[in-house]
Amino acid sequence: MTAMTAEERQREIVRVARRTGSVDVTELAGTLGVAKETVRRDLRTLEDHGLV
């Protein structure tokens, strides 16, 4: 599997957040195949844009 782009990761994070009402950084990191810090950075970006 090829690595997801930041946009693809962020889209998936928003999808999970909207479906479940919350996200688990450790779980997302494992699912997306990235470091927890990458998920945190994506969450900050999404928050800055009002998406989560």
Q: Is 2 left (phi over 0), alpha (psi -120 to 50) or beta?
A: beta
pLDDT above 60: residue 1: no
pLDDT at 42: 97
- Furthest-apart CA pair in the chain: how many Å? 30
Q: What is the pLDDT of residues 10-22, one digit of tens each?
A: 999 999 999 999 9
pTM score of the predicted model: 0.87
- Per domain, the residue ranges of the chain are 6-48
Q: What is the pLDDT of residues 29-49, one digit of tens each?
A: 999 999 999 999 999 999 999
Structural fold of domain 6-48: Arc Repressor Mutant, subunit A (1.10.10)
How would residue 3 be classed by pLDDT, with cut points 50, 70 and 90?
A: confident
